Chains A and B, each alone.
Chain A
């Protein structure tokens, strides 16, 4: 049985259409290019990046922050499906959880890449090393991210194993884990926001609105990515995903983006109307500071993209038509990627604590390494999802097609 399963899995991931093989091949090449730059960084140090003492976190931490949001967003699908028994979304919950696994894996890769001495990771292992819990909020992030990764892995593998064996998996046994995945998802992005929000040295981050904004932006960008992926899956595989469930996801995105924009306005109002010295980073981001304005075009792109997407989604007829819906999803994905990455991490350090303006922007090495990580992430997702769909559609295993999971 187990050997059968392993054979089935290997067969599934090694066989596929031309497009599938091309996609996997491209991802492997990009990953290899990324890894070659990782080797350079490992031998020469982080000096090969554009980060410096003035801006001590950059593109890697920006990607990490964005991807924690994507990972957290899997829960958007879990809530209506499991808690409200909203059936049509059922077929895609598994795919969402697989996306969470891939996204958290990418988060962990970006963290390792950002560490100056990653080979000393054992210093973090409780007992062997010293785990500064609960004092350091970073240790909280280590706990919740790993917990979330294993929780999602467990839920997916458990469900797939049951379907493979042709059994029903909706038992009382996993119910607590499913319910727990909801606060776990909220917690990974909240704790990540707290990393920043707890630093009075950086007024740009030291705001109570940060965690709510993180959740709102994650719950719009994550599902936006999923909506597009679901349409690809539906077209290229036998997995059935109804229009109705996709439009439901679109509705969730609309709500999340409404909150995201509202929180942004609340933040802008507080800073601009009170106009203290603490506005410097915000000034730098939106208008430029003392002639330095590298990030200005980026952030306005994000604001405009998010606003246009919101207006599209607000109109039900547009939201329920695939072309405008997809346009909105692409705009939101790009908009939030800029907002959470470039627009959050970099300006927190500009101006620096001693007032210095160092205009950080990632160099080509950082970009190639990040392309490598994204490629590995997509690879994890593609292979995992392909196996899951094969099991779900009965290509391998003994799935009972009459049973709706």
Chain B
């Protein structure tokens, strides 16, 4: 698919010039109203992320940084760090350790500049009763548990976020290719290209995609200034967002926010192509499973139980 778009790139030069002309024309008309309006016009006519030339992208990132720095009153950087060679990210979650504290949810909200009002969560933690043997029957789970302390006796917890499928049903259905799988396996969304049809939300078997039903809002003092174009920059009303394995962190060689915050070390993250990585160790030495395997989505997000089982050496 990426080849496909690149192929189209060659023919799009005139089109881009045409669009640039339109933008310039419209911008000229809007000039008296000031810079912010010119930016809005540029944003409206902006091409798909994969169709932007290096120079265009550089220019756009600069303008976006200025715009956001002005809006949030502090220096903001927006990068478009490309994927690293020989890296495919994978994730594993230790269900025997998770205590259901939901710190991951709020670390994710903070890191990814997710809307506080209306509240948007990219991670959901499901609570199950141990007595219920049919645990994969998800109707018996509860997302809205609220006891004094966790973990509660007789309960266990299953956090769910984007499973970063190798065979993602959400990508297939998008009518404008606003969402795609990057070479490092991360499914991303071009927030400026999404038309908000929500077909991807119907297609995702994991409830991982979140729509901005209202205008997203993040308080100025809580904004995370280190942003990625395909990751944690502020979202727009009427578009879809999702977990990107904290692309702004992972592509810089860091752990995701949810891995870092987890107080019990239930969350593991690493390069699936590196035989010495922790994630590979887990896949090779422990029994792991994935959610809804019969759907053939082939997630790169694994669940396992480290406790109560001997570790094979």
Contacts and interface: CB of A to CB of B under 8 A. Distances in A.
Interface of A: 44-47, 49, 51-54, 56-57, 114-121, 123-124, 127-132, 135-139, 142, 195, 198-202, 277, 280, 289-290, 348-349, 351-357
Select the residue from A114, A117, A124 with max chain B CB neighbours within 10 A. A117
A202 B202 contact: yes
Interface of A, helix, strand, loop or mixed by DSSP: loop
B280 to A, nearest CB: 28
B160 A201 contact: no
22 contacts: A45-B237, A46-B196, A53-B211, A54-B207, A115-B197, A117-B194, A118-B195, A118-B196, A119-B44, A120-B44, A120-B193, A123-B178, A130-B48, A130-B176, A132-B176, A139-B175, A195-B199, A349-B202, A352-B207, A354-B138, A354-B207, A355-B139
Interface in B126-179: 126, 134, 137-141, 143, 160, 169, 172-178
Contacts of B195: 115-118, 120-121, 123-124
Contacts of B126: 354-355
A310 to B, nearest CB: 32
B210 A135 contact: no
Given A45-B237, A357-B139, A201 B211 contact: no
B137 A114 contact: no
B207 A53 contact: yes
Quick one: which of A47, A49, A124, A131 has the most chain B CB within 10 A? A47
B139 to A, nearest CB: 4
B206 interface: yes
Interface residues of B, number: 53
A351 B213 contact: no
A45 B212 contact: yes
A355 B177 CA distance: 28
A116 B137 contact: no
B8 to A, nearest CB: 8
A289 B139 contact: yes
A123 B176 contact: yes
A42 to B, nearest CB: 9
A117 B238 contact: yes
Given A200-B169, A354-B207, A117 B196 contact: yes
B137 A355 contact: yes
Interface string B198-209: 110111111101
Contacts of B236: 117
Given A46-B238, A117-B236, A200-B295, A136 B213 contact: no
A201 B197 contact: no
B5 interface: yes
B214 interface: yes
A47 B175 contact: no
A368 to B, nearest CB: 18
A142 B237 contact: no
The 3 A-B residue pairs with the shortest CB-CB distance, nearest first, are A116-B196, A355-B138, A116-B238
Contacts of B213: 45-47, 49, 51-53
A98 to B, nearest CB: 29
Given A354-B126, A354-B143, A116 B237 contact: yes
A116 B174 contact: no
Contacts of B23: none
Nearest to B121: A53
A51 to B, nearest CB: 7
A351 B142 CA distance: 12
Contacts of B124: 354
Contacts of A123: 48, 176, 178, 193, 195
A131 B212 CA distance: 23
Nearest to B216: A45
B239 A117 contact: yes
B118 interface: yes
Contact of A45 (B8, B19, B176, B215): B215
Given A128-B15, A131-B176, A354-B207, 6 more contacts: A53-B207, A116-B197, A116-B238, A348-B202, A355-B137, A356-B143
